Amino acid sequence: MALGCFENVNLPPCVWFEGGDKRNALASILAGFLFFVGWWIVIDAESSNPRQIAAGHVCGVFGTLSLIIINSISNSQIRGDAYEGGCLGPRGARVFLFFGFVLGFASVIAACWILFANFVNKDQQWPG
């Protein structure tokens, strides 16, 4: 279980959200908030210092695209229960999901590559 640490967490009752046993909904809200904060920081950093390396933002865009692709496919489409029509059916959904995972992992690998190429291996004297 991915979120087993939240099994014993008791949240106080909330007026706008019935949080009983909706652990996945709470995890989705938290993930969406972290996603928003991450993009907010990227946009703020780019607007205050436009001379930053732009290739790092491309990795974020491809990571966002990957997130949208992966979350747009339901489990029933993977199993083939959702529909029988279309030109590819469940096989096309599986290929699309695989493409989303490849895009996500490629963006993480490219971001690490940019990090090491531009910041870690340089012998620069930074103030402070």
Give tens-digit pLDDT for 16-74. 666 566 777 777 788 889 889 988 988 887 788 777 666 778 888 898 899 888 888 88
Q: What is the pLDDT of residue 128?
A: 42
The span from the CA of 14 to the CA of 105, in Å, is 37
Q: pTM value? A: 0.65
Find the length of the chain. 128
Distances (CA, A) of 104 to 56, 62, 67, 75: 14, 7, 7, 19
φ/ψ bin of 19: left (φ > 0), alpha (ψ from -120 to 50), beta (otherwise): alpha
Residue-wise DSSP of 69-123 = HHHTS-HHHHHT-S-S-SSSHHHHHHHHHHHHHHHHHHHHHHHHHHHIIIIIS--
